Amino acid sequence: MALKQSEKLFAAAKQLFPGGVNSPVRAFQSVGGHPLFISRASGAYLTDVDGNNYIDYVGSWGPMIAGHAHPKVVEAIQDTAAQGTSFGAPSPLEVQMAKQLMRHLPSLQRLRLVNSGTEAVMGALRAARGFTGRPKILKFAGCYHGHADYLLVKAGSGALTHGRPDSLGVPESLVEHTLVAPYNDLAATEKLARPHRKDLAAVIVEPIVGNMGCVLPKPGFLEGLRKLCDATGALLVFDEVMTGFRVHPGGAQDLFGIRPDLTTLGKVIGGGLPVGAYGGRADVMKCVSPEGGVYQAGTLSGNPVAMAAGLATLKLISTPKAHAKLLHKTERLAKGIAEVAQRARCRVQVPYACGMLSLFFSGRPVENLDDAMASQGALFRRFFHEMLARGVYLPPSPYEAWFVSLAHGENEIAKTLRAAKDSFLTLAKENG
Ligand code: KE4
């Protein structure tokens, strides 16, 4: 596999950007080697600048759920852009987007559109603090909610990958109101919250975690958080930036039948363009400027071209039939990987939900950050490169979710399973 152009571009990029990338997790630092520079993508495939094709399981970290360059999405972008790309004024498309989101997530009584998942979380938690008048936020170790200062505490995703779950540059004073509990441990969460119950503004959680690898909530955990918030007056915030419109047409909140007070969204709802959203209870959202005193703003919020891309994507994905197909593809892949690993005597866990999965080299289920970090990252690193050499592009970190799209057909899944089988056998031989 020739990688000359990627190597040249990476050498140049390292003189331009920190680590040569514009988002840390792209740098391949946790798997070694250098990132591939991608020139184009279509359906389930990426093509790098050296002309190599890969079956893609990053999917731009979630947005490309309908596949890359879907004709309907491209057409919507082209047609809308031709009418003007940004007005800095309300447009009909943002009204259409809000109605579409509310149709599928009835907990969204009012919402605000922003430009990223980070912004959505920042807005939601500021609204929670403004509504309750309380300062404390409780999050879970290994969950990642974007890069707002006070949330870079035991954060997952790239922060975990680069071994800095607590980022430099964040003064202690900015995280004094951030409490961190172990995911899936309700007793520890209740114990941590108890002394702060009068100061607790919100509990924020990834209802299905994607950012320490895929970790599913244990039965009763999310229900327990709902009860904890009802008992203390804190708001329950479901960060569905990754799970929204992926794990179910109504998100994890519909899948588990739990109504959060606020929800954050991103990724899929932008169809590959920068979009985020936060919303929920009308009484809480009334606090947001200009109706209330919680200020939050954005030059490109509700951008018409991004709305068009998101609406076209949601039209393709948000039906029970589309999700049934996506779940079947995900199950076929996850169960297939577990099976070929077992045959090669590799001890792995392959947790999954509709549209997302991950692979831990571990002999026991992964229920929290400690379990995830106890998995064998070195084996993941080898597996990653064996798969890449066979034309399968995985997230370059053991602490990320793989994303399946509607464009991953039987051919792609069968090829992926063949590559996984050979990769596991190679690892098994290397490790005797
Ligand atoms: P963005 O600001 O990156 O749009 O969204 C932040 C965010 C918030 N909440 C959840 C649950 C998320 O997964 C994310 C972002 N996810 C990572 C991938 N694990 C984005 C990839 C990256 O950082 O480059």
Residues 41 and 103 in one domain: no
Nearest one of 268, 228, 247, 227 to 120, comparing CA atoms: 268
Burial class (CB in 10 A: 0-12, 13-18, 19+), 176: exposed
Question: Which domain CATH number covers 225?
Answer: 3.40.640.10
Residues 243 and 373 in one domain: no
Residue 149 CA, ligand 1 centroid: distance in Å: 14
Q: How far is CA 32 from CA 4, 60, 366, 382, 385, in A?
A: 17, 20, 24, 9, 9
Residue 158 beta carbon below 6 angstroms from any ligand 1 atom: yes
Q: List per-block mean pLDDT (blocks of 10 residues) for the chain, which spans 432 residues.
A: 88 98 96 97 98 98 98 98 98 98 98 98 98 98 96 86 78 93 98 97 98 98 98 98 97 98 98 98 98 98 98 95 97 98 97 98 98 96 98 97 98 98 97 86
Domain count, the chain: 2
Residues 307 and 360 in one domain: no
Cα 124 to the center of its chain, rounded Å: 17
Told to judge if 239 belongs to the known catalytic residues of this protein, a careful annotator would answer yes
Q: Which H or E run contains 146? A: none
Residues 76 and 135 in one domain: yes
Domain final position from 295, 317, 339 = 317
Domain final position from 283, 317, 351 = 317
Supply the pLDDT for residue 226.
98
List the 136-140 sheet strands across, edge first: 110-114, 276-280, 262-265, 235-239, 200-205, 136-140, 178-181
Q: Which of 48, 56, 185, 239 is catalytic?
A: 239
Told to judge if 267 belongs to the known catalytic residues of this protein, a careful annotator would answer yes
Residues 111 and 252 in one domain: yes
Residue 157 beta carbon below 6 angstroms from any ligand 1 atom: yes
Residues 112 and 166 in one domain: yes
Supply the pLDDT for residue 86.
98
Residues 161 and 173 in one domain: yes
Residues 100 and 228 in one domain: yes
Cα 251 to the center of its chain, rounded Å: 13
Residue 266 beta carbon below 6 angstroms from any ligand 1 atom: yes
Domain final position from 294, 317, 340 = 317
- Domain coverage including residue 80: 71-317
Residues 305 and 378 in one domain: no
Question: Which domain CATH number covers 365?
Answer: 3.90.1150.10
Residue with tokens 């047609």: 79
What pTM did the predictor assign? Answer: 0.97
